[in-house]
Amino acid sequence: MRVQVAIIGGGPSGLLLSQLLMRAGISTVVLERQTRDYVLSRIRAGVLEQGMADMMRRAGVAERMEREGHVHDGTMLSTQNGLFRIDFKERCGQSVIVYGQTEVTQDLYAAQDAMGAQIVHEAKNVALHDVTSDKPWVTYEKDGQTHRVDCDYIAGCDGFHGVSRPTIPTSVRAEFERVYPFGWLGILSRTKPAADELIYANHPRGFALASMRNEKLSRYYVQVPLTDTVEQWSDEAFWDEFRRRIPAQVADTMEIGPSIEKSIAPLRSFVTEPMKYGRLFLVGDAAHIVPPTGAKGLNLAASDVHYLVEALTAAILDKDAAALDQYGPKALARIWSAMRFSWWMTTLMHRFPDQTEFDQKIQEAELTQLETMESAQVTMARNYVGLPY
């Protein structure tokens, strides 16, 4: 098989990249290690920045998002002093859309199928070859046979544990990481959301988040120690703890019910540089991980796709190879801004094991500024809805 761009990883970033490149007339193949059902079963982010929503429109896959997504003009923060709201629309003139990553992936699959895209599921033992040459190639195994893909460029959209990042030698690759000393216990339930907008709660017992997927499907989280396991948390124990951490006026009226998914996710901030090595380009979680507090994971992957489509179309269609060298610097500038915001939100809203009374007072002072200072609200709103590409 020969294509212009081989895409490793069939999650939303790989599918979005393929969709946009194919619409520009560039041939692709997507190699995904898991089955399609497995990809669609992954429960992930649900808040889309303005830029991500615009990317969906550019890709021709926004119809269902426009119809079923929920536009949020703000968010609420809960502290020991009560509940207050940051109005995104008022502070920066933009909004976000609550639309689950699973829905995004379904829409992209449907669009790719309609275009006759080449998507290979259960592609095992993927390996990248000659990535620093002008003729890179990829091998994979399927149904007991080894297959080869010749290409001009390779996009590594295969996540934190994929093969793309390790293809870059450690002598070239720099990694920056902060691992947080807690995780998020999250549940999905077929219940009406606790509020019309997300609630981020700073509480002495730990952080909590009330989120949603749609009018009948809710997503809730509580901060837990990394030593906790899902088996330790019954549904009853989760609901009791969650309601302790959110405002009483919300806890007393919210609907609860059996969980349909329950998991614990560790939190980390991670960036690798460079994002380009020869003709290999890293995209999304292959290059960076953010704690979910700032809702940036999927959105950062989308901005990577934006910059990579820009570079690849210039190189392939306009014969401007110099554009490829701009991909990493452009993507990383936005990544580090989002990394700072996600770190700040995480530090502001969580209880750390070694947190002192001084640290607690600093958190409270910063939350008070957010509640009372317009400039602080503007800064948060601009970062939350997404900085421009």
**pLDDT band per the 50, 70, 90 thresholds, residue 96:** very high
Tens-place pLDDT, residues 156-170:
999 999 999 999 999
- Can you tell me the distance from the alpha carbon of 64 to that of 70, in angstroms, rounded to the nearest whole number? 11
Report the C-alpha gap between 337 and 161 in whole angstroms: 24
Six-digit token pair at 211? 């989120």
* Identity of the residue numbered 153: Y
pLDDT value for 140: 98
pLDDT at 44 over 80: no
Q: Which fold has domain 5-72+94-177+268-345?
A: FAD/NAD(P)-binding domain (3.50.50)
pLDDT band at 200 (very low <50, low <70, confident <90, very high): very high
pLDDT in tens, 256-313: 999 999 999 999 999 999 999 999 999 999 999 999 999 999 999 999 999 999 999 9
Q: pTM for the whole thing?
A: 0.94
Which residues make up the CATH 3.30.9.10 domain(s) of the chain?
A: 180-267+350-385
CB-based contacts of 236, cutoff 8 Å, min separation 6? none
CATH 2.60.120.260, applies to 180-267+350-385? no
Nearest residue to 179 via CA among 97, 285, 291, 92: 291
Phi, psi of 261 (to 5 degrees): -160, 140
Residues tagged active-site: 72, 200, 292, 296, 384
CATH 3.50.50.60 in the chain is located at 5-72+94-177+268-345
What is the rounded average pLDDT of the residues 97-116?
94
User: What is the rounded CA–CA span in Å between residue 25 and residue 33?
Assistant: 26
* Cα 306–Cα 148–Cα 166 angle in degrees, nearest 5: 55
Q: What is the pLDDT of residues 60-93, one digit of tens each?
A: 999 999 999 999 999 999 998 889 999 999 999 9
